[in-house]
């Protein structure tokens, strides 16, 4: 079994390690050409996932052409904002490949989910495209700690095939055909985790956190309904599961970003100082504008947009949320 992983960030690297452990030959593509000699010499990605040696069955390349020629199964793990630009020149090669997307986000210019972007690039109806989501910190997957995820595709048979291909005793894979719900849950939990980080940074307590997470999930479900997702999907691994992990887990970049906002730092300064990607920063923009386009009420997302992109005072934002009119619980 041969697999190519496009993207050598923390998650792409961890997934490459996992696939190598279950017997696959791996080619890992890195955007940063300067990483390749170090990866080859040390077999460790010190830039994005330090402390983990990659098995000998993992090889490295800076050529996407080589990566696509190497395997029939292609794993995409680029940042969401870079996915289209990275893959567009290679659409013809992608069309007949088996594609599994690890990237979580919404494209800001088109409001497309990642599977829709890949379908467009490849000229594919989507039967050979799937997405993977669920509560899965890269470091814990690389350590071999038990993890459960879900694979979604329009083609449930394809989901089943991937499920069998990447499952292991410590990496349990479920399948579903609601790819919209799985993609949206994976994208929006990054947004909501920023809010959770702000609450944590302000020491508002667990009552506030529990209330916030509950209402955050309600917002995710509302947008999902507008896009045709099933509500039950958001109660699963890619919804509630990933939301809990990313909101409360100490390894969450999005939660840490929120905590830094709460300390008074500017969002642009935080992003510039980070080598790793904070996906929620980009997804807030897309989710806010998509909700406005569809007429979906998302007050948490709206306030986070004002804080992150317009510099709104956090205490003022919290007051605006708290003083909203009386509502029935949806």
Do residues 53 and 9 make contact, with C-beta atoms less than 8 angstroms apart?
no
Nearest to residue 19, comparing CAs of 173, 242, 160?
173
- Tell me the H-state helices in the chain: 10-21, 35-42, 64-70, 83-87, 91-94, 114-122, 138-143, 156-166, 179-201, 206-227, 242-248, 253-262, 267-273, 279-294, 299-310, 314-322
Residue with the two structure tokens 């507008």: 226
Name beta bridge partners: 49.
Answer: 45
Residue the block writes with tokens 């999902």: 224
* Of the candidates 320, 206, 318, the residue with the CA atom closest to the CA atom of residue 261: 318
List the catalytic residues: 189
* Residue 284: Cβ-neighbour burial (10 angstroms; 0-12, 13-18, 19+): buried
Cβ(15)–Cβ(74) under 8 Å? no
């Amino acid at each position: 079994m041969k697999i190519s992983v496009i993207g050598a960030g923390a998650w792409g690297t961890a997934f490459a390690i996992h696939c190598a452990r279950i017997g696959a030959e791996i080619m890992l593509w890195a955007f940063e050409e300067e990483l390749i000699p170090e990866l080859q010499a040390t077999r460790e990605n010190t830039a994005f996932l330090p402390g983990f040696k990659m098995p000998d069955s993992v090889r490295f390349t800076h050529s996407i052409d080589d990566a696509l020629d190497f395997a029939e199964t292609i794993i995409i793990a680029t940042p969401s904002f870079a996915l289209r630009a990275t893959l567009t020149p290679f659409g013809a090669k992608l069309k007949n490949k088996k594609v599994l997307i690890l990237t979580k986000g919404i494209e800001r210019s088109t409001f497309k989910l990642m599977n829709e972007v890949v379908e467009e690039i490849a000229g594919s109806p989507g039967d050979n495209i799937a997405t993977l989501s669920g509560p899965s910190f890269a470091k814990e997957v690389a350590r071999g700690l038990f993890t459960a995820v879900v694979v979604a595709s329009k083609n449930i048979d394809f989901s089943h095939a991937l499920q069998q291909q990447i499952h292991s005793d410590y990496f349990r894979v479920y399948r579903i055909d609601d790819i919209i719900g799985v993609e949206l849950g994976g994208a929006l939990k990054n947004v909501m985790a920023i809010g959770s980080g702000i609450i944590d940074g302000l020491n508002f307590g667990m009552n506030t956190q529990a209330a916030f997470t509950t209402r955050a999930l309600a917002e995710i479900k509302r947008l999902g309904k507008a896009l045709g997702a099933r509500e039950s999907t958001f109660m699963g691994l890619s919804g509630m599961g990933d939301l809990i992990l990313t909101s409360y887990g100490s390894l969450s970049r999005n939660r840490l970003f929120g905590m830094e906002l709460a300390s008074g730092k500017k969002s642009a300064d935080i992003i510039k100082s980070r080598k790793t990607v904070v996906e929620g920063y980009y997804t807030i923009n897309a989710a806010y504008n998509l909700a406005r386009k569809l007429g979906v009420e998302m007050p948490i997302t709206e306030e986070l947009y004002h804080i992150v992109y317009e510099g709104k005072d956090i205490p003022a934002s919290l007051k605006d949320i708290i003083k909203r009119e009386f509502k029935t619980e949806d």
